[in-house]
Amino acid sequence: MSRQLIAAGNWKMNTNYSEGIALAEQISKHSTDPKGLVILAPPFTSLQGVNEVIKDNNHVKLAAQNCHVKEKGAYTGEISIDMLIAVGVEYVIIGHSERREHNKESNELLAKKVDLVLSKGLIPIFCCGESLEIREAGTHIDFVANQLKESLFHLSSSDFAKLVIAYEPIWAIGTGVTASPEQAQDMHQSIRKLLADQYDEAIANGTSILYGGSVKPANAKEIFSKADVDGGLVGGASLKAGDFGDIIDSF
C-alpha cells in the first residue's frame, strides 16, 4: 500500500451490535469525500454488520482488532484470518499494546501474525510504542526500533511495502495525555530513517505511519500536520461520530 493519510478508529471492547451499526452509519455518511482513508475496527461481533453499512463507500474500510496466529483448529474462543476475510475485513491491527500487555503477545508471535495476515492478502496495521518507564529512561527510540526489527524486518521489501505502522506510546493511550506533536514527529522520523537504513528510501517514504494515543478533535490537526505523521489510530474519540468526524476532517 502506498503512503496515504489514514484515520483509523479502534473501538476496542466497546459498542454492542446496534450501537456499532449506528456509529458506522454516521461515520460512513460523514465520509463522502474525506482527504484520507477511514478505517473502522469494531469488535468481532459487529464486523459483518459494519461491513454491510460501509461496503459501498470506497473511502471507509474494515479492520479487525486482532486475529489468531494459527489458520484453524482447536483454539476455543479465537478468531481465524479466514473468518475475518469472509466478513469483509481488509486490515488487521497487530500488536496493540493492550494485547501485548494482557495477552502476553511477544515480538516473535507478532512476526508470525504479520506473516499470516500478509500471506492472506490483508494489510497489517502494526502497533509499536514504549511505556512511560522506557520514555523516562530515554531509551524509547531503541525500544521501538527493536519492536520493528523483531517483528517486521524479516519481511521482503515487497511485503513490507504493504504494511501500515502505528506508533502508540503506551503512556498516551486512554490517559488524556497526548504525545506532543514534536514527540510524535521525532519518533515517526526515526522510524522512517530506520526503514530507509533497513530497506530503502522508497520504502521509508512510502509507508504510512499513524500516531495513536489520546488523539481528539482538539489536537488532531496539529499532530497530523507534522511531516512524518500520516494520520491517527484513535480509541476513545472514535466512539463518538461527531468527534471522529472532526478528526477525519483534520487532514
Kindly list the catalytic residues.
96, 168
**Does 234 interact with ligand 13P (rule: CB under 6 A)?**
yes
Q: Is 213 in the site for ligand 13P (CB under 6 A)?
A: yes
CB of 236 to ligand 13P, least distance (A): 3
Residue 83 Cα distances to 41, 80, 133, 157, 224, angstroms: 15, 5, 38, 28, 34
Binding mask 172-191 for ligand 13P (x = CB under 6 A): -xx-----------------
- Per rule CB under 6 A, is residue 42 in the interface with ligand 13P? no
Could you say which residues in the range 89-108 bind ligand 13P, by CB under 6 A? 96
Quote the least distance from Cβ 175 to ligand 13P, whole Å. 7
Distances (CA, A) of 65 to 32, 76, 171, 194: 24, 18, 20, 26
Residue nearest to ligand 13P (CB): 235
Q: State which residue, 223 or 237, has the beta carbon closest to ligand 13P.
A: 237
> Do 15 and 239 contact (CB within 8 A), yes or no?
yes
Options 212, 219, 230, 243; binder of ligand 13P; rule CB under 6 A: 212
DSSP letter at 1 equals -
Rg (CA), the chain: 17
Measured from the CB atom, the residue of 118 and 239 that comes closer to ligand 13P is: 239
Beta strands in 65-185 (DSSP E): 91-94, 123-128, 164-167
Q: Scan residues 116-175 and list those touching ligand 13P (CB under 6 A).
A: 168, 173-174
What's the CA gap between 68 and 79, in Å, rounded?
6
Shortest CB 212 distance to ligand 13P, Å = 4
Q: Which residues are CB-neighbours of 211 under 8 A, at least 6 positions away?
A: 166, 167, 168, 179, 184, 188, 223, 229, 231, 232, 233
Three cell numbers, residue 26: 454516521
Q: Which listed range, 76-84, 113-121, 131-139, 233-241, lies at the site for ligand 13P (CB under 6 A)?
A: 233-241
Hey, what's the cell of 131?
511505556
By CB under 6 A, name the binding residues for ligand 13P.
Answer: 10, 96, 168, 173-174, 212-215, 233-237
